[in-house]
Structure 1
Amino acid sequence: MSFLQMEDRTYLVFGVANRKSVAWAIARELEAAGAKVIYSVRSEKRKESLAKLLGDRPCHICDVEEEGAVERLAEEIGSDTLLDGIVHSIAFADYSEGFRPFHETGRKQFLQATQISAFSLSEIANAFSESLKPDASVVSIGISTTELTAENYGYMGPVKAALEAVSRNLAKSFSAFSEVRFNTVNSGPLKTSASAGIPGYLDNYLYAEKMTLRKRALATREVADTAIFLLSPRSSGINGQGIVVNAGMDTNYFDKELVERTMRGDAV
């Protein structure tokens, strides 16, 4: 058996949108390690677009924004299918009306983003509570810090903070009857298709690359590797945590090169 001991385990993965998705990177590594992966995607249209990518892998449709959808998914998969873990890689924000300052955030947009990106984790955990093995692991994808205020990220900063809080509270709640673990992988900026829809994201991504200690951008694979470890039995002592994966970006504010360029007024 391999170090991670993933052989013959079964995982449910939410959030594959295309081959650049974090969820897809995680799923591929799970399969490479010998695990079985069940996929859940948002819509029939998304499932069709992934037909070549997923092949004959089991794939279900579940729009977590729709009330009752998660419960129906649990029924479809069936209580006979015991899960060793779940990957929650779901996030959505409606920027169709353009970017607004945070204080102008609309109620509808904020609540929709919270439902899809944060509260859905609680609904999924509840719906699959009897299908999760007693020592299962649930991993969500967060952001590297929810304390800093990224202007162009808008209301998704507070929403991702809610996701982390939901994960921690689920860890406590499930501890009353199991050893199911809940953790988040708090990723630095990644080059994904979903990120492309965030206004000004490319500039932030390039700046974040300069902020890393190694001066090289974070790779999706690196986030997936951390998620795989948290999904494996080898991380059994980690619960209710947010693991930061950002190549040291948050420790490098006073990087000499960046300071000198800023003071000269050069482009970073």
Structure 2
Amino acid sequence: MDFLGVAGRKIIIFGLANKKSVACSIGRVLVEAGAEVIHVVRSEQRAETAKKLFPESKVFICDVENEANIIAVRDQIDRAVDGPVEGIVHSIAFANYSEGLKPFHETLKKDFLQAVDISCFSFISIANHFRSLLANHAALVTISISTTRMAAENYGYMAPVKAALESSICFLAKSFSAFSEVRFNAVCPGLLKTSASAGIPGYIDSYLFAEKATLRKKALRTEEAANVAAFLLSPRSSGINGQCVVVDAGMGMNYFDAEIVTKAAL
């Protein structure tokens, strides 16, 4: 039985970098469910990776930092794909930590604005420029974080950027409702073991702490976030719109875990 109801549906995934990417896990879940997955990646190198991981999928290249590239890849996909697009995944984030970790108040304007452009505005731009390709009931899903209200020092200015992304979901849902039934939602996972996260200073220690804080004492798996993304892309989630779905295996309610408190009090 096709529970999700995505078999044969065309779904575009932006952001695959390698086999550990959230975008890769989402792609695997969707392919297994019978969807026609189309990948959009940032570079030729990543395109080669995508083709190896998804030999049956069409792969396109787009650096979303330049809005003209989004328009160009829209046109390329329009020419190459028959029928409407039923879903889009936005799994794109970038922060420049090349100068090392700084206190938040020392964040450089150019770094902050670049992160907003790539990690947040790109989702708005993709929605806008791809709207002519979308089915009336299409679903768009982005990837955020489990909370933007926790001042994690090593995550720096990316939490405010993700907060902007989450707010944008509500405004996109409202804006598109004037002419369609297109839905916008976010998957907000706890800490994951991905290549992108490995570039965050001090991430390993935070990941190990998160594992201890998780109710089951086992870290969140990337495929668990991917499963939720697939659900939000499917008609089974038709009543969910403008929402941020937290996937953290209970971590967010367990900061006063007895084991963690005991160790901190020693």
Q: TM-score range by the shorter chain?
A: over 0.9
**Does structure 1 retain, via aligned residues, the 8 Å contact 2:18–2:50?**
yes
- For residues 208 and 84 of structure 2, the distance between their equivalents in structure 1, rounded to whole angstroms, comes to 42
- For residues 85 and 56 of structure 1, the distance between their equivalents in structure 2, rounded to whole angstroms, comes to 18
What is the count of residue pairs matched by the alignment?
264
Give 1:204 shift: 0.3
- Match for residue 222 of structure 2? 220
Q: Structure 2 length as normaliser, TM-score? A: 0.97
Task: Call closer, same or farther: CA 1:145–1:12 in 2, change over 3 Å.
Answer: same
- Match for residue 35 of structure 1? 35
- For residues 83 and 259 of structure 1, the distance between their equivalents in structure 2, rounded to whole angstroms, comes to 49
- Match for residue 234 of structure 2? 232
Give the letter aligned to residue 47 of structure 2: K
Give the SS at the match of 1:138. strand
Give the SS at the match of 1:177. coil
Give the letter aligned to residue 46 of structure 2: R
| Structure 2 alignment gaps of length 5 or more | none
Query: Which string of whole-angstrom CA distances, capped at 9 and with x for unpartnered residues, describes residues 124-183 of structure 1?
Result: 000111111111100000000001100000000000001101111100100001110000
**Which of 137, 140, 143 is equivalent to 2:139?**
137
Give the SS at the match of 1:194. helix
Give the SS at the match of 1:68. helix
- Match for residue 54 of structure 1? 54
Give 1:46 shift: 1.9
Give the letter aligned to residue 35 of structure 1: A
2:124 maps to 1:122: yes
4+ residue segments displaced more than 4 Å = none
Superposition pairs of residues 24-103 of structure 1, within 5 angstroms: 24-78=24-78, 80-103=82-105
- For residues 46 and 251 of structure 1, the distance between their equivalents in structure 2, rounded to whole angstroms, comes to 37
Give the SS at the match of 1:243. strand
Give the SS at the match of 1:128. helix
Q: Structure 1 length as normaliser, TM-score? A: 0.96
- Match for residue 21 of structure 1? 21
Give 1:50 shift: 3.7
- Match for residue 192 of structure 1? 194
- Match for residue 112 of structure 2? 110
2:172 maps to 1:170: yes
Superposition CA RMSD, Å: 1.1
Give 1:195 shift: 0.5
Query: Which string of whole-angstrom CA distances, capped at 9 and with x for unpartnered residues, describes residues 192-223 of structure 1?
Result: 00100000000000000000111110000100
Give 1:43 shift: 1.2
- For residues 38 and 155 of structure 2, the distance between their equivalents in structure 1, rounded to whole angstroms, comes to 31
**Does structure 1 retain, via aligned residues, the 8 Å contact 2:67–2:125?**
no
- For residues 216 and 32 of structure 2, the distance between their equivalents in structure 1, rounded to whole angstroms, comes to 28
Give the letter aligned to residue 185 of structure 2: N
**Does structure 1 retain, via aligned residues, the 8 Å contact 2:51–2:59?**
no
**Does structure 1 retain, via aligned residues, the 8 Å contact 2:186–2:244?**
yes
Query: Which string of whole-angstrom CA distances, capped at 9 and with x for unpartnered residues, describes residues 82-112 of structure 1?
Result: 1110000000001011110100000110011
Give 1:243 shift: 0.2
- For residues 106 and 83 of structure 2, the distance between their equivalents in structure 1, rounded to whole angstroms, comes to 45
Superposition pairs of residues 202-213 of structure 1, within 5 angstroms: 202-213=204-215
